[in-house]
Amino acid sequence: MAPGCSCHCGAERDFQLENGHVLHVTGVDRAFLEFQALGMPANAMVGDMLISRVRANPAAGAEDLFLLKTVLLSEYGKYCAARLPGVSVSTQESVDSDAAVEVYSKPTCPYTRALRRKLERDGVIYVEHNVESSPALLKQMLELNGGRRSVPTMRSGDDIVVGFHGT
């Protein structure tokens, strides 16, 4: 049984927030599993979706919910990384990484999901940049691919590939 869980399934957790408050939250594991199965990366949009899908104890105020969203997003990133080794998801402009490939993507793009599956199947270490979460990342992608608003855009060394059609 998970700490603070009365249901024996690990779907309830207590989260320590930066302000010292502890929130009891239900529905966490179910939401993580569902979003990960859909191939959704840890980004600001997923953070908003997570906070709307889980239930925090009724005493949670606006500040607590904002801090909880940050904690949930961090935990979701760890959850995905544990299930998809070799994958790092970025919502920042620069990432220090050993990744051989950078992928500029949108969370709901089916071509990006197909590319992720191929890279994972081939054991390629990559970092994924969500262009919806950051105007700076979108700008980087547009500079790399000649101004095309097409995802996925993939960079490996000096090679740039726009789109993915399976192989």
User: DSSP E strands: which ranges in the chain?
Assistant: 12-16, 22-26, 55-56, 87-90, 101-105, 126-130, 153-156, 159-162
Q: Is the pLDDT of residue 37 over 80?
A: no
What pLDDT, in 10s, does the model give residues 118-158?
888 887 888 888 888 788 889 999 999 899 989 999 988 88
Q: Do 158 and 96 belong together in one domain?
A: yes
Q: Is the pLDDT of residue 82 over 80?
A: no
Please tell me the predicted confidence (pLDDT) of residue 139.
92
Please tell me the predicted confidence (pLDDT) of residue 153.
93
Q: Which of 23, 49, 83 is the last residue of a domain?
A: 83
For residue 136, the SS3 value is: helix
Please tell me the predicted confidence (pLDDT) of residue 29.
83
Domains held by the chain: number: 2
Q: Which of 25, 56, 83 is the last residue of a domain?
A: 83
C-alpha dihedral, 66 to 69 to 75 to 77, nearest 10°: -120
Q: Is the residue at 59 inside a domain?
A: yes
Q: Is the residue at 115 inside a domain?
A: yes
Q: Is the residue at 4 inside a domain?
A: no
d(CA 91, CA 86): 17
Q: Is the residue at 6 inside a domain?
A: no
Q: Is the residue at 154 inside a domain?
A: yes
Q: Which of 53, 83, 113 is the last residue of a domain?
A: 83
Q: Is the residue at 167 inside a domain?
A: no
Please tell me the predicted confidence (pLDDT) of residue 143.
92
What pLDDT, in 10s, does the model give residues 47-67?
788 888 888 877 778 888 888
Question: pTM for this one?
Answer: 0.48
Please tell me the predicted confidence (pLDDT) of residue 3.
44
